[in-house]
Amino acid sequence: MMSLRPVYGHRTLRDRLAAAALGERLPASLLLTGPRGVGKQRLALWLGQRLLCDGADARFSTEPCGTCQHCRYASRLQHPDLHWFFPRLKPKDGEVSAEEVKADLSEAIEERLAAGGLWAGSTGMEGLHVATSRAIAQSASLRPAMARRTVIVVGDAERMVPQEGSDAAANAFLKLLEEPPPGTTLILTSSEPGALLPTIRSRVVTIRVAPLTSSEVAEFLNDEAVVSKLGDATRGDNAPIARAAGAPGRLLEGDASRDAYSAARLLLDAALAPANPEGEAQRIAVAAKQGVSKSRGAFSDTLDALTVLLHARARESVDAGNERHARRVVTAISVLEQMKTRTQQNVTPMLLTTVLLDDLSLLLASRS
């Protein structure tokens, strides 16, 4: 039977979450945030398994036993009380039922397991639509079928799509976050928490998932399923580890990830161009390439990649002893995170890029 890959890294955080669960101090509604590809959804599913585990040492161990019936079912994503929701393409047939949403997700989960338990992140074309919100609420309303509790994982929660006329579904989801039924734990994940509705953020306890260390990324790259999937991309000195930047899930995105990084480097080069007519022309040309109708998902991926490049630049500045420039880069990252929230609004990528490049140019042009 196909199972999920092991959890790599996050040892301290896992111990903290498990200790809170053992001491019955774990909040009922959680939000795991961190870089795209760092393993937030896998960590959420691990926590779900730990909460459902009833092995002999379940009241003392920070790890799920892995052998009890609950653990076996959870690791194969077949546990009836562990529900996993993540963005999907909008149904072509309009309104769909909760059962149809779950059937679609079940097929998608089988595909992820068949791929060795490895998957790329959601694209900008996918979303958590109103029917998904209803399916989440329905899952929470059911009594546990096998365990003593219910665990609901919602991946990429920032992709929740508000729709006109869906106030009832939105309000039901907010009420669920605020007052989950007894014995129900909701775990949301997001790479762009700033894009979440304030009404959602105010109802969850946010926990930051830090990037993996280089040695932890190396462990992931040595996993036989990862080697089989990525082939030569896992080899070559430290190049794959550097590309992962602590979030090895990015390496699973293939051409889309490489395209995002190529576009991000063009943005960074334009921001670093001198403050003269030639530099301004370069910035205008790069902004124009974004167009007025470019896929917002692809544009968001480019901004995510730019965040990684800026983090690397900040580390380089610190290593070189240029703390003043490092602070400027950190400010630039903050500006970029604010810009990401505007990608959810009705503003063209070209206009957003123009404003972003102007701001970054002022912050990054000088290395002093």
**For the chain, what are the domain ranges?**
11-210, 247-364
272: which 2 tokens? 């670093």
**200-213: burial string, b at 16+ Cβ within 10 Å, e else:** bbebbeebebebbe
Q: Which phi-psi region, left, alpha or beta, contains residue 77 (left: φ > 0; alpha: ψ -120 to 50)?
A: left
Which pLDDT value is given to residue 164?
45
Positions of the chain with pLDDT lower than 50, given as ranges:
164-165
**Is 174 in contact with 138 (CB distance < 8 Å)?**
no
Picking from 28, 40, 53, the residue whose alpha carbon sits closest to that of residue 185 is 28
Q: What is the DSSP string of 86-154?
A: --EEPPTTSS--HHHHHHHHHHHHHHHHHTTS--PPPPTTEEB-HHHHHHHHHHHHSPPSSSSSEEEEE
172: which 2 tokens? 């039901």
> Could you give the 3-state DSSP secondary structure of residue 39?
coil
Which pLDDT value is given to residue 22?
93
Spatial distance between the Cα atoms of 298 and 128, rounded to a whole number of angstroms = 17
Spatial distance between the Cα atoms of 3 and 139, rounded to a whole number of angstroms = 23
DSSP H/E element including 253: none
Q: How many CB atoms lie within 10 A of CB 227?
A: 14
Report CA-CA distances (Å) from 6 to 63, 212, 349, 364: 12, 14, 38, 40
Spatial distance between the Cα atoms of 268 and 246, rounded to a whole number of angstroms = 20
Q: Please give the radius of gyration of the chain, using alpha carbons only, rounded to the nearest integer.
A: 21
Strand order in the sheet with 29-33: 82-85, 150-154, 184-190, 29-33, 205-208
11-210 placed in CATH 3.40.640.10: no
Contacts of 319 (CB under 8 A, 6+ apart): none
**Is 347 in contact with 293 (CB distance < 8 Å)?**
no
Picking from 220, 247, 221, the residue whose alpha carbon sits closest to that of residue 37 is 247
Which pLDDT value is given to residue 136?
95
Picking from 13, 54, 8, 7, the residue whose alpha carbon sits closest to that of residue 30 is 13
Spatial distance between the Cα atoms of 106 and 312, rounded to a whole number of angstroms = 38
